[in-house]
Amino acid sequence: MNSFFDLSVEEMKSYGYKIVDLIVSHYDEVENKKPVSSATRLEMDAVFLQEAPEKGMDADKVLDFVMENVMPNSNISSHPKAFSFVPGPSNFISTMADSLATGFNIFSGGWIVSPAAAELEIVTLNWLLKMFDFPVAKGGGIFTSGGSMANLTALVTARKVKCGDDFSDAVIYLSDQAHSSNIKAIRVLGFKKEQVKIIPTDIEFKFSINKLKNEIAKDKLEGKKPFCIIASAGTTNTGTVDPLDTLADICEKENLWFHIDGAYGGAAILSKKGSKILRGIERADSLTVDPHKWFFQPYEIGCLLVKDASWLSNTFSEKPEYLRDIEGNESEINFYDYGIQLTRRFRALKFYMSIKTYGLETFKKAITYNIDLADQTEDLLRASKNWEIVSPATLAIINFRYNPLGLNLTEKEIDTLNQEISARVVASKEALLVTTVLQNQIVIRMCLINPKTTLDHIKDTLNQCDAFAIEVLSEWKK
């Protein structure tokens, strides 16, 4: 008797091959597509909004509908002209690995359910521990959905280790450039507003050390309990890395937990330039890295690393009756004891297969290429009379604004002009290039972590920006 959902072998092969062909075609033709998509809720409702059908329809027709309406209405984060936010370049081997993990429907929560999945997570986490000079024998970690969940897991652990059950007087410190996921995590954990100290950054967008020390001293005098500092190793806005060694010294002196959010920039440890900038990252108690960013993995895979794996198990381990037969021994890790999720997909497989297939050397070359490309872009902008660097190239991120010599535009006019340049580039769908705000200035931000991006792609986009700027300035004169 066939299951309700069974297809014949021939039907599965035909359908599967069609999907593989579509994915391969996308990889092959991605540069010829436009990276930007836009649609209103009304437009999307008109295409998709309908009741769940009682009767099914031909699988190929459903697939065709999806290819005609879903994929074209999604931005292509792997496009070489997707410069905004943090692009997702991905790689084909990891994409197929995800298909394997999903196709075999492997549960990656406990050892007894899939010892191979747990072992591969241990192995790949050990690779990462070694990259960041964390202790492999004592240290540990867990793969998460992304940086947000990794940061939340880190802060739950830090609170447990440093505060126990009473965190009513605990204080946590982070800079005004820290990623918003940290604030969200702090809010989820139930800290009051006065327990969160956001420290201003200096002119280079780094933690202001003097202001941080002042806040810690003040809080101690008021009877509060400083317990954690969150540093950034590659901020989303500028790629800036906080003074990690100095912050580590403060944490050691004051007995504070040192968490580093390296979700964006951590992977730069594989390049010579990056490893110099990230000096001190090995001194963290906990470290977030995001393989689905600069380790070129498809969504979703984030990661938390800790100096002592027992911190995670002591924080998250629960022993319900229905799991009593599957505990195993201490070496056979149940990753549901290391984080929030019980049900977990097999995230380690794509990281494992891509590292094994391409080798670390390829990843090192790709990351180094990205950093050098951002440096070349900075040189290009500095050679122009039209562009002004606001934050120089740092870990493949650069911020600049259109401010031509001799025009003497007001700050308000410059802000309006750059916002309009960005809006028109995005509206053209030729590139995804949006703004951010630095030092109260609207600036254009480029994140250049896609190995497919070339200097010609950047020149094309800057030429387009120049043309739109002239167009806007001409309109203003009318």
pLDDT mean over 4-15: 95
45-59, 109-123, 325-339, 438-452: which has the minimum mean pLDDT? 325-339
State yes or no: pLDDT of 329 exceeds 70. Answer: no
**What is the dihedral sign for C-alpha 79, 83, 88, 90?**
positive
pLDDT band at 472 (very low <50, low <70, confident <90, very high): very high
pLDDT value for 330: 72
pLDDT value for 325: 53
Answer whether 255's CB lies under 8 Å from 225's CB.
no
pLDDT band at 321 (very low <50, low <70, confident <90, very high): low
Q: What is the pLDDT of residues 445-456, one digit of tens each?
A: 999 999 999 999
pLDDT mean over 6-33: 97
Q: Which residue, 86, 105, 131, is CA-closest to 363?
A: 131
Q: What is the pLDDT of residues 93-105, one digit of tens each?
A: 999 999 999 999 9
pLDDT value for 24: 98
The dihedral region occupied by 112, where left means phi > 0, alpha psi between -120 and 50, and beta the remainder, is alpha
Non-local CB neighbours of 172 within 8 Å, separated by 6+ positions: 155, 186, 191, 195, 196, 197, 227, 228, 229, 230
Q: What is the pLDDT of residues 283-309, one digit of tens each?
A: 999 999 999 999 999 999 999 999 999
State yes or no: pLDDT of 318 exceeds 90. Answer: no
pLDDT value for 320: 62
Q: What's the CA gap between 80 and 7, in Å, rounded?
A: 38
Residues in a beta bridge with 397 = 394, 447
pLDDT band at 248 (very low <50, low <70, confident <90, very high): very high
Percentage of the chain modeled with pLDDT above 70: 97
pLDDT band at 326 (very low <50, low <70, confident <90, very high): low
Q: What is the pLDDT of residues 258-277, one digit of tens each?
A: 999 999 999 999 999 999 99
What are the CA-CA distances from residue 192 to residues 107, 170, 186, 196, 446 (Å)? 37, 10, 9, 7, 35
State yes or no: pLDDT of 282 exceeds 60. Answer: yes
pLDDT mean over 328-344: 89
78-87, 164-173, 319-328, 384-393: which has the minimum mean pLDDT? 319-328
pLDDT value for 13: 97
pLDDT band at 5 (very low <50, low <70, confident <90, very high): very high
pLDDT value for 322: 55
pLDDT mean over 55-75: 97
Q: Which residue, 142, 131, 124, 126, is CA-closest to 282?
A: 131
pLDDT value for 475: 96
pTM for the complete prediction? 0.96
